[in-house]
Amino acid sequence: MRITCPICGERDRREFYYKGDALALNRPGPDGGEKAWDDYLHMRDNPAGETRDLWFHEAGCSAWVVVTRNTVTHEILAAELASKVKEAAT
Amino acid sequence: MGFSGWRVIKEGLTGNRGWKPQWRDAAPKKDYDVLIIGGGGHGLATAYYLAKEHGITNVAVLEKGHLGSGNIGRNTTLVRSNYMMPGNSEFYSHSVKLWEGLSQELNYNVMHSPRGQIVLHHSDAQRDAAVRLGNAMINRGDDAELLTRDDVRRMVPYLDFDSARFPIYGGLLQRRAGTARHDAVAWGYARAADERGVDLVQNCEVTGIDMKNGKVTGVQTTRGVIRAPKIAVVVAGRSSQVAAMAGMRLPIESHVLQAFVTEGLKPCIDHVISFGMGHFYISQSDKGGLVFGGNLDFYASYASRGNLPMKEHVMEAAMTLMPMIGKAKVLRSWGGIMDMTPDGSPIIDRTLIDGLYLNCGWCYGGFKAVPASGYGFAHLLATDQYHETASKFQLDRFRSGRGLMDEEATGSQHNLH
């Protein structure tokens, strides 16, 4: 599996650390309530198919990258900088 | 019809014409008392214990493919109970006890082989942890022995004891641990459940779960609507998809775990051996293949196959632990889909939907659990009470933080197990 880092280009999967579902970007506020925190920490859509997850380009440029990926075929569909995704959402 | 030595001889002398299919290929009826979604090891064991222990036989097991076509056929067949946390401890202990009588109970040879598992340690700190775990196992009535370096050398002389990076300090041996024949477990439970009247319905994919006023009423399937007041979801590997049919999200991420087998060799590895530093474990199958595996690939996946970096890592660990393995040729590798929970322990529980029950989250340890999982889940389905050996696998523990069973002490979060 090779991931296209938006900064470094296509790189081996080994250069990246996997964090998990990209919902990690949507951290609830401290007073978000128990349900929001439970959903954030534990509950997952866990799709068989297209998913968005968060990878850290640890052995490269140190960017956090939101990767759109197919969990059934391992096809990498898109990769964006997490900072840009976060900006666009606010 | 039962299996026996006499029967084998008789069939051998009469051209083996007396063997019949081991279970009926049942067509689904309209109504049942209990529906079990998933005809894998856990689902079939659940059906068997429902019939045997609770006399509930108006049961159908719905399987989208053929029986035992999922993870029960894609594992590395280890049976052990080296767990420490309350909840896991009594459960796996019970499971090993059930394994010990399983071939007799089912009249089906599951080839349970308690050949002993040695978990190696490579530092003083790891030895301390092994002593603690061993004492916990002994205290609850299981067996555990601390092996010195010389003990290990006498038993398995072919390891690299003086590796500069990971010298072997000793091992923790559980003699009652071992292996079993994975497919035979599914087949044995299927045959025994069928004999007691359970309908095993194959090629029947559940496409929807019907509910009314917060209560389940039945399921939509590719073979029509089937009604039942109790529905058991036992589909580890696909738990999130089936739960979604009932509008639920689960605390599960699906990951891939790879395994490998070499060409058949003469007997050379008599035990199950686990490397304490590289997450590598190995045993030899009765056919002679060396069966081994390592860690998760560590990304969400439903592909049933992994990537090269983890293959390379597992081979490196193998060569570090036992250089002789370099002579063997890898025949094939495969991947299983693991229901990973945040704390690394499973879920056997009711849900907030009346009549809907859940058995999932087996992470990378579901095979050894099959008998006790079926036993405990059947108890819950029949009595609406937890069985004493399976009372802690509650769905709510992640939200509340109470009763987490984080055996590896890495934290209760996805991607840490």
Q: How does the average pLDDT of chain A come out, rounded?
A: 95
Of A14, A45, A73, the CB nearest to B309: A14
Report the gap between the CA of A37 and the closest CA in chain B (Å). Answer: 8
Of the pLDDT bands very low, low, confident and very high (cuts 50, 70, 90), residue B408 is confident
Range list of H helices, B121-237: 124-139, 149-155, 182-195
Residue among B166, B156, B158 at smallest CA distance from B121: B166
Q: Are B390 and B372 in contact (CB under 8 A)?
A: yes
Burial class (CB in 10 A: 0-12, 13-18, 19+), B224: exposed
Phi-psi region of B197 (alpha: psi -120 to 50; beta: other; left: phi over 0): left
At B113-166, the pLDDT tens digits run 999 999 999 999 999 999 999 999 999 999 999 999 999 999 999 999 999 889
Q: What percent of chain B has pLDDT over 90?
A: 96
Contact yes or no for B297/B306 (Cβ under 8 A): yes
CA dist., res. B396 & res. B362, Å (int): 16
Distance CA B47, CA B198 (A): 7
Domain contains A35? no
- Residues B241-286 have pLDDT tens digits of 999 999 999 999 999 999 999 999 999 999 999 998 878 999 999 9
Residue A65: give its domain's CATH number.
Answer: 3.30.2270.10
Contacts of B89 (CB under 8 A, 6+ apart): B83, B136, B140
Report pLDDT for B8. Answer: 93
Is B253 within 8 Å of A13 when comparing Cβ atoms?
no
Nearest to B253 among A13, A34, A44 (CB): A44
Whether B300 and A46 lie within 8 Å, measured CB to CB:
yes
The residue assigned the tokens 């401890």 is B89
Alpha helices in B171-260 (DSSP H): 182-195, 239-245
Under a CB-based contact definition with an 8 Å cutoff, are residues B356 and B246 in contact?
yes
pLDDT at residue B277, rounded to an integer: 81
Does residue A16 fall inside a structural domain?
yes
Tell me what percent of chain B is helix, strand and coil, each rounded to the nearest 5: 30, 25, 45
Residues B276, B391: Cα–Cα separation, whole Å: 30
Looking at CA atoms only, how far is residue A58 from chain B in angstroms?
15
| ipTM computed for the complex | 0.95
Q: Do A48 and B251 touch (CB under 8 A)?
A: no
Cα nearest neighbour of A49 on chain B: B302
Average pLDDT rounded to a whole number, residues B285-306: 95
**CA separation for the pair A34, A51 (Å, rounded):** 25
> How many Å lie between the alpha carbon of B226 and the closest alpha carbon of chain A?
25
Q: Which residues of B touch A14 (CB under 8 A)?
A: 309
Q: How many CB pairs under 8 A join A and B?
A: 70
Q: Within a domain: residue A21?
A: yes
pLDDT in tens, A37-54: 999 999 999 999 999 999
Model confidence pLDDT, tens digit, residues B40-83: 999 999 999 999 999 999 999 999 999 999 999 999 999 999 99
Tell me whether residue A34 is in a domain: no
**Which tokens is B202 given?**
């194959």
Q: Is B367 helix (H, G, I), strand (E, B) or coil?
A: helix
Considering only CA atoms, give the Rg of chain B. 22
Residue A79 backbone phi and psi in degrees, to 5: -145, 125
Contact A44 B298 (CB under 8 A): no
Question: How far apart, in whole angstroms, are the C-alpha atoms of residue B364 and residue B78?
Answer: 11
Percentages helix, strand, coil for chain A (3-state, rounded to 5) are 25, 40, 35
The residue among A67, A66, A69 whose CA lies nearest residue A49 is A69
Asked if residue A38 belongs to a domain, the reply is no
Q: How many residues belong to chain A?
A: 90
What's the pLDDT at B417? 84
The closest of B134, B136, B153, B155 to B144, measured between CA atoms, is B134
Judging contacts by C-beta atoms under 8 Å, the chain B residues touching residue A18 are 298-299, 415
Domain range enclosing A12? 2-27+47-89
Q: Do A46 and B252 touch (CB under 8 A)?
A: yes
Structural domain contains residue A73:
yes
pLDDT at B88 over 80: yes
Could you tell me which chain A residue has the CA closest to the CA of B307?
A: A1
Nearest to B31 by CA among B59, B61, B56, B63: B59
pTM to 2 decimal places = 0.96
Residue B305, min C-alpha distance to chain A (Å): 9
Alpha-carbon distance of B61 to B231, in angstroms, equals 10
Helices (DSSP H) in B249-404: which residue ranges?
Answer: 308-321, 366-383, 397-400
Q: Work out the end-to-end distance of chain B between its first and last CA atoms, rounded to an integer number of angstroms.
A: 44
For residue B102 the two structure tokens come to: 């399983």
Q: Is A40 part of any domain?
A: no
Please list every residue in chain B whose beta carbon sits closer than 8 Å to the beta carbon of residue A1. Answer: 299, 307
Residue type for position B364: Y
Which residues of B fall within a CB distance of 8 Å from A45? 240, 244, 249
Quick one: which of B24, B31, B28, B34 has its CA closest to B59?
A: B34
Do residue B249 and residue A44 have CB atoms under 8 angstroms apart?
yes
Whether the CB of B307 is below 8 Å from some CB of chain A: the reply is yes
Count of structural domains, chain A: 1
- Partnered with residue B172 across adjacent β-strands are B119, B146
Q: Rounded CA gap, B280 and B139, in Å?
A: 27
pLDDT of residue B278: 75
**pLDDT for res A77:** 97
CB of B411 less than 8 A from some CB of A: no
Task: Decide if A81 is inside a domain.
Answer: yes
Query: What percentage of chain A exceeds 70 in pLDDT?
Result: 100
**CB-closest option in A13, A19, A71 to B307:** A13
Partners of residue A59 in chain B, C-beta under 8 Å = none
